[in-house]
């Protein structure tokens, strides 16, 4: 058993607390104002107008206390403000990811020494963006969950029915924060039981800091993007991981696929554990069958002769 993970399971670093008294800027995301514009000279006026409207959503930055806060950390965010070598991190990403609450969460994590700088993007998805960050201990990954209302409506199925999160109120902000805590707890439980997943290090609101899987050249590649020579070995390793998740961790991953597996230092690592549910969840076995089926499908595409029924028997231990 990973002693450090066991200690974190009992005493996870959680610096969450009551939100500061501030204006709520939740609402329709401004990003859509320009995404559908034609990329030609005739759309210039419309794009400029859209940028002006988007800027109005961030008027709070001009308030004295927020202006000072942003000035203190602006240099530390240069890698995610489009000022570095990663062109896709532009104003659209900033508007989508770094709303008032998120910036204040990042500010607090920086002040408490969990991270020094946000450097460059690792991945982006509909629920979250992941960034490489530098911490006093070295490289870490910072996962910032989106706070738009539309994102989490489809994720309630992974919360409702999980006995660990009973009595949850349906306010959107609370759902986002619960989702982050849920991923943190799932990762800790999996690590404690020998599953290769990133170790969570700290969290606050919609920001989760965890181990970085990669090197100075970039993140470790996804299984989806590799042509593996040892498909049988990778299959057996991942089947064992699903078995540990179900039998030892008492969870179903619920979103397993080659997109959520990284090959790091020669071994497959599983990521994105927010949707994982306790075995007591009414749909846990359905999710388990889906996970195993996806693994078998990948194996067959890579020349491994295996059937879902046999894989299920091994994962269930029957």
Among all residues, which ones are annotated catalytic? 255, 272
From 205, 214, 142, select the one nearest 179 (Cα to Cα): 205
Gap between the Cα atoms of 302 and 316, Å rounded: 24
Gap between the Cα atoms of 293 and 123, Å rounded: 25
Gap between the Cα atoms of 255 and 147, Å rounded: 21
Residue 287, CB-side half-sphere exposure with 13 Å CA sphere: 24
Going by DSSP bridges, is the β-strand pair 128-135/138-145 parallel, antiparallel, or unpaired?
antiparallel
Query: What contacts 173, CB < 8 A, 6 or more positions away?
Result: 19, 26, 101, 147
Gap between the Cα atoms of 169 and 172, Å rounded: 9
Gap between the Cα atoms of 57 and 29, Å rounded: 9
Judged by DSSP in three states, 278 sits in strand
């Amino acid at each position: 058993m990973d002693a450090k993970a066991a200690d974190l399971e009992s005493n996870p670093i959680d610096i969450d607390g009551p939100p500061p008294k501030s204006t709520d800027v939740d609402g329709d995301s401004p990003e859509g104002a320009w995404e559908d514009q034609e990329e030609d000279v005739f759309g210039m006026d419309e794009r400029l107008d859209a940028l002006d409207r988007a800027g109005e959503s961030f008027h709070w930055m001009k308030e004295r206390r927020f202006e000072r806060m942003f000035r203190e950390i602006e240099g530390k965010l240069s890698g995610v403000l489009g000022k570095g070598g990663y062109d896709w991190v532009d104003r659209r990403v900033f508007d989508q990811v770094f709303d008032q609450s998120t910036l204040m969460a990042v500010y607090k994590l920086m002040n408490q020494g969990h991270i020094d700088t946000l450097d460059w993007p690792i991945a982006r998805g509909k629920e979250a963006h992941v960034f490489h960050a530098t911490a006093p201990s070295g490289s870490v990954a910072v996962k910032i969950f989106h706070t738009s209302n539309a994102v989490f409506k489809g994720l309630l199925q992974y919360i409702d029915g999980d006995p660990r999160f009973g009595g949850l109120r349906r306010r959107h902000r609370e759902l986002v924060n619960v989702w982050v805590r849920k991923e943190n707890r799932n990762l800790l439980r999996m690590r404690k039981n020998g599953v290769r997943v990133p170790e969570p290090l700290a969290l606050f609101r919609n920001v989760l800091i965890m181990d970085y899987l990669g090197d100075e050249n970039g993140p470790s590649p996804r299984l989806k993007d590799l042509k593996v020579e040892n498909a049988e070995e990778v299959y057996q390793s991942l089947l064992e991981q699903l078995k540990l998740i179900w039998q030892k961790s008492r969870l179903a991953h619920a979103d397993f696929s080659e997109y959520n597996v990284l090959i790091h230092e020669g071994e497959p690592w599983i990521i994105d554990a927010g949707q994982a549910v306790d075995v007591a969840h009414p749909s846990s076995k359905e999710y388990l069958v889906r996970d195993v089926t996806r693994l078998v499908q990948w194996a067959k595409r890579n020349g491994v002769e295996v059937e879902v029924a046999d894989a299920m028997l091994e994962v269930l231990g029957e």
